[in-house]
């Protein structure tokens, strides 16, 4: 269910598998843009979207992060209605498990405005998958803004990538930028979306 925004930013989240459901040009009187969030399984995609949409981070009673598997795809809507960056974003979080790879191809369409390709900073293998997803996005979504986004940056002592490696990878791949985020700490996510909203308004 979509709700009418009643603050500077608001959003809703609901599971769905209809790839075309979010492909509408206006929503609640705002320009609507399609965003994909993709990456390896257990890479922090759902946590990133939850932090943006609801400012929430799921933990159990002992404070340990709760894993939330995306079953195929989930659609969230986020409204940005402050200053000049007045937009709604239909954000598709795509499951990273291999069994979803073929079905998730339907979401890579030429009307996609932004693709966030995530890299789990604690998993060295996630960069290989990110590179494949990046190329897929470039081929299928030729006009989209594509970002490389590092997740779980708060776990500093377990980051497996040397400083500068992912920024170089993003540059070599032709990404708009490389950004680091932590859903647990709530850092980097708002800045990322503020930047991409500003770029979308200029397009």
- Give the model's pLDDT for residue 11: 56
Q: What is the mean pLDDT of residues 10-29?
A: 53
In this structure, what CATH number is given to the domain that contains residue 51?
3.40.50.300
- Asked if the structure places residue 8 within a domain, the reply is no
Q: Is the pLDDT of residue 73 over 50?
A: yes
Displacement of CA 165 from its chain's centroid (Å): 21
Q: Is the pLDDT of residue 7 over 60?
A: no
Q: Is the pLDDT of residue 14 over 80?
A: no
Give the number of domains in the chain. Answer: 1
- Asked if the structure places residue 18 within a domain, the reply is no
Q: What is the mean pLDDT of residues 30-41?
A: 94
Stretch (H or E) spanning 149: strand 145-151
Tell me how crowded residue 172 is: count the other CB atoms within 10 A of its CB: 9
Q: Is the pLDDT of residue 16 over 50?
A: no
Q: Which distant-in-sequence residues (6+ apart) come within 8 Å of 52 by Cβ? A: 11, 76, 78, 91, 189, 190, 193
- Give the model's pLDDT for residue 147: 98
Q: Is the pLDDT of residue 132 over 70?
A: yes
The rounded distance, in Å, linking the Cα atoms of 57 and 184 is: 6
Q: What is the mean pLDDT of residues 12-21?
A: 43
Long-range contacts of 16-25 (CB under 8 A, 24+ apart): 16/73, 16/74, 16/75, 17/72, 17/73, 17/103, 19/73, 19/92, 19/106, 19/107, 19/109, 21/75, 21/90, 22/75, 22/77, 22/90, 22/91, 22/92, 23/90, 23/109, 23/111, 24/90
- Asked if the structure places residue 7 within a domain, the reply is no
Q: What is the pTM of this model?
A: 0.86
- Asked if the structure places residue 5 within a domain, the reply is no
Q: Which residues constitute the domain of residue 194?
A: 23-202
- Asked if the structure places residue 13 within a domain, the reply is no
Q: What is the mean pLDDT of residues 171-186?
A: 96
- Give the model's pLDDT for residue 54: 93
DSSP 110: T
Q: Is the pLDDT of residue 185 over 50?
A: yes
Of 202 and 1, which is predicted with more confidence?
202
Alpha carbon separation from 88 to 9, 24, 76 (Å, rounded) = 10, 10, 10
Q: What is the mean pLDDT of residues 6-28?
A: 50
- Asked if the structure places residue 197 within a domain, the reply is yes
Q: Which distant-in-sequence residues (6+ apart) come within 8 Å of 140 by Cβ? A: 105, 108, 109, 110, 112
65 pLDDT band, cuts 50/70/90, is confident
Rounded percentage of the chain residues whose pLDDT exceeds 90: 68
The rounded distance, in Å, linking the Cα atoms of 116 and 156 is: 22
- Give the model's pLDDT for residue 15: 38
4 pLDDT band, cuts 50/70/90, is very low
Phi, psi for residue 103 in degrees, rounded to 5:
-70, -30
- Asked if the structure places residue 2 within a domain, the reply is no
Write the pLDDT tens digit of every residue in 18-27: 444 445 676 7
- Asked if the structure places residue 110 within a domain, the reply is yes
Write the pLDDT tens digit of every residue in 97-131: 989 988 899 999 999 999 999 999 999 999 999 99
């Amino acid at each position: 269910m979509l709700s009418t925004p009643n603050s500077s930013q608001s959003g809703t989240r609901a599971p769905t598998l209809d790839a075309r459901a979010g492909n509408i040009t206006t929503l609640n009187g705002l320009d609507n843009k399609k965003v994909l969030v993709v990456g390896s399984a257990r890479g922090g995609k759902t946590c990133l979207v939850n932090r943006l949409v609801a400012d929430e981070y799921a933990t159990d009673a002992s404070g340990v992060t709760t894993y939330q598997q995306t079953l195929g795809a989930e659609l969230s809507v986020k409204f940005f209605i402050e200053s000049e960056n007045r937009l709604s974003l239909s954000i598709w979080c795509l499951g990273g498990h291999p069994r979803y790879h073929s079905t998730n191809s339907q979401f890579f369409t030429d009307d996609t405005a932004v693709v966030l390709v995530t890299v789990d900073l604690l998993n060295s293998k996630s960069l290989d998958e990110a590179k494949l997803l990046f190329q897929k996005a470039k081929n299928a979504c030729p006009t989209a803004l594509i970002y490389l986004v590092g997740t779980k940056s708060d776990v500093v002592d377990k980051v497996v990538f040397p400083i500068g490696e992912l920024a170089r990878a993003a540059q070599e791949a032709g990404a708009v930028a490389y950004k680091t985020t932590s859903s647990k700490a709530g850092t980097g996510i708002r800045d990322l979306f503020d930047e991409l909203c500003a770029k979308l308004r200029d397009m």
